[in-house]
Amino acid sequence: MSVHAAVDLGASSGRVMTVRIDGDRLDLTETHRFANRPVRVGGTLHWDVLALYRGVLDGLGRAGRVDSIGIDSWAVDYGLLDASGRLIGNPVHYRDERTAGIMERVSAELGAGTLYQVGGLQFLPFNTIYQLLADPLLDRAETLLLIPDLLAYWLTGSVGAEVTNASTTGLYDVRAGSWAHDLADRLGLPSRILPALRPPGAPAGTLRADVAAEAGLPGATPVTAVASHDTASAVAAVPATGGRFAYISSGTWSLVGLELPRPVLTEESRLANFTNEGGLDGTIRYLRNVMGLWILQECLRAWGESDLPALLAAAGRARPFEAVIDPDDPAFLPPGDMPARIADFCARTGQRPPTGRAEAVRTVLEGLALAYRRTLRDAVRLSGQQVDVVHVVGGGARNAPLCQMTADATGLPVVAGPVEAAALGNALVQARAQGVVSDIRALVRHSERLVTYEPRGDRAAWDAAEMRLAELTAELPPD
Ligand code: LFR
């Protein structure tokens, strides 16, 4: 029997989960949940990183005695430390618009192909590399720490860069498995600020005595470098057997793709904008970021509506394909009035906007299912890996209409669950590092409740919707 604290930070809330492992039994308790509310200051959107740290301390205090602690969060964002180890400035949110135009400039100067050959990343405007080029504090920095590494540093005093998250920076050489110092030099970025890499499962120090005293914990509790990118932790806990599976890590984002033994860095793959992120045990997450439930979350915020189950039920009854949208349209990236942006997308493409809230929700879900279908088809084509099943993990595994639409649109069975995949992957990597667990996926399969959605026979409607969207968006003027 062992007990682990999994700190899992998401875009809208953070949690400390206590995970007990006893043979084949897994027991997961949400010990503490706290809001993660971004703050705009002086026109820049920040994370409130001290409030997050406060939440972590409170949660660890409530969890009490544990065998180890691990932290995962969203990727790409970072804090900078000065020579004395103090945080300079407040980490900036990846949805801030400070990076506007930088990705295009770097791609033109260095060649998009060069960037892709090294980092293998999907071209997203917020990749760390572009944020650093927009960061006025860089000159004063001695150390760059990605968010989970920053929090771990505050807990332990130990500095390091966990590999799965480092692989999302654009400064990590995905083939060599090391920092891409040459690329940093060419961009004029100081590669001395990049700390030594740590693979998931490696020790990341022990709780500092003063921190342990403040949190009311035993001193010297070990902190493990888990797969600290939340998507890496979530995919580690996908309850798949064998290799012929796809996954959708479904939360604020939908991360849609495959697990591969090595990266795909072809020109075709670059043009299809697929990423090659580092996973547990040297695996590659070959995927695309689909905009995800973010659009729905922002709709609820704009409507002041909190009853998601009722809306989903109504969306399930609404008329199919009133309008078709592309959730990956850049207009949907920044926070804002999403219902108005959906209406605007419809106007730009000559469609009538959805008539009510249920219809708008249905339009979002159908748009997501269409994007999943496109992405999975491309992933299979570009990698040559076949799939028989789609695993949906994360909060979206609870979204029954979306899971059913995903099965219908892809023509594949969808296995939904676990909802808490990131926290489970986090805790199970800790447990494996301590020799308590050997096969993470088998344990998740045996202990978690999973729901299967079989595809229904209306694929023609999805084919037609996909064709309609392709025609409507082909005429869109470039941004
Ligand atoms: C999901 C996620 C994605 C990453 C995005 C931004 O929470 O980590 O994998 O692309 O957030 O960091």
* Residues 134-166: tens digit of each pLDDT: 999 999 999 999 999 999 999 999 999 999 999
Its pTM surpasses 0.95: yes
Closest alpha carbon to 127 in 479, 118, 44: 118
Atom of ligand 1 nearest to the CA of 126: 6
The C-alpha angle with vertex 156 and arms to 150 and 157, in degrees rounded to 5, equals 75
Q: Is the pLDDT of residue 354 over 80?
A: yes
User: Largest Cα–Cα distance in the chain?
Assistant: 63
Between CA 249 and CA 247 the distance in angstroms is 6
- The string of pLDDT tens digits covering residues 398-413 is 999 999 999 999 999 9
pLDDT classification of 453: cutoffs 50, 70, 90: very high
Closest alpha carbon to 339 in 317, 347, 467: 347
Q: Which of 229, 249, 256, 273 to mutate to test the pocket of ligand 1 (most atoms within 8 A of CB)?
A: 229
By annotation, the residues acting in catalysis are 230
Percentage of the chain modeled with pLDDT above 70: 99
Atom of ligand 1 nearest to the CA of 74: 8
Consecutive H or E run containing 101: none
Q: Which of 9, 73, 129, 255 to mutate to test the pocket of ligand 1 (most atoms within 8 A of CB)?
A: 255
Quote the DSSP letter at residue 324: -
Give me the pLDDT at residue 479, please: 52
Give me the pLDDT at residue 125, please: 96
Average pLDDT for residues 169-192, to the nearest whole number? 97
How far is residue 81 CA from its own chain's centroid? 24
One-letter amino acid of 195: P
| Pocket flag, ligand 1, residue 453 (CB < 6 Å) | no
Higher pLDDT, 475 or 166: 166
- The string of pLDDT tens digits covering residues 277-302 is 999 999 999 999 999 999 999 999 99
**Burial track 81-117 (b if 16+ CB lie within 10 A, e otherwise):** beeeeebbebbbbbbbebbeebbeebbeeeebeebbb
357 CA to middle of ligand 1, Å? 27
Give me the pLDDT at residue 477, please: 65
| Pocket flag, ligand 1, residue 153 (CB < 6 Å) | no
| Pocket flag, ligand 1, residue 172 (CB < 6 Å) | no
Please report the DSSP string for 412-425 in residue order.
Answer: S-EEE--TTHHHHH
Give me the pLDDT at residue 219, please: 84
Kindly report the protein residue whose alpha carbon is nearest to atom 2 of ligand 1: 74
User: What mean pLDDT is reported for the chain?
Assistant: 96
Percentage of the chain modeled with pLDDT above 90: 96
Both structure tokens of 415: 């296995």
| Pocket flag, ligand 1, residue 294 (CB < 6 Å) | no
HSE-CB of 31 using CA atoms within 13 angstroms: 26
| Pocket flag, ligand 1, residue 298 (CB < 6 Å) | no
209 CA to middle of ligand 1, Å? 32
Average pLDDT for residues 173-184, to the nearest whole number? 98
Atom of ligand 1 nearest to the CA of 249: 1
For residues 258 and 246, the answer to whether their CB atoms sit within 8 Å is: yes
| Pocket flag, ligand 1, residue 253 (CB < 6 Å) | yes
Average pLDDT for residues 432-453, to the nearest whole number? 96
Identify the residue whose tokens are 């999805």: 462
| Pocket flag, ligand 1, residue 372 (CB < 6 Å) | no
| Pocket flag, ligand 1, residue 78 (CB < 6 Å) | no
Between CA 80 and CA 111 the distance in angstroms is 28
In this prediction the ipTM stands at 0.98
Between CA 141 and CA 139 the distance in angstroms is 6
Give me the pLDDT at residue 218, please: 85
Give me the pLDDT at residue 478, please: 55
| Pocket flag, ligand 1, residue 75 (CB < 6 Å) | yes
Between CA 24 and CA 91 the distance in angstroms is 40
- The string of pLDDT tens digits covering residues 208-263 is 999 999 888 888 899 999 999 999 999 999 999 999 999 999 999 999 999 999 99
Give me the pLDDT at residue 277, please: 98
23 CA to middle of ligand 1, Å? 32
Q: Which of 74, 167, 233, 288 to mutate to test the pocket of ligand 1 (most atoms within 8 A of CB)?
A: 74
Q: Is the pLDDT of residue 385 over 60?
A: yes
Average pLDDT for residues 436-448, to the nearest whole number? 96
Task: Judge residue 202's burial from the number of C-beta atoms within 10 Å of its C-beta, 0-12 exposed, 13-18 middle, 19 or more buried.
Answer: middle
Between CA 226 and CA 6 the distance in angstroms is 9
Atom of ligand 1 nearest to the CA of 10: 7
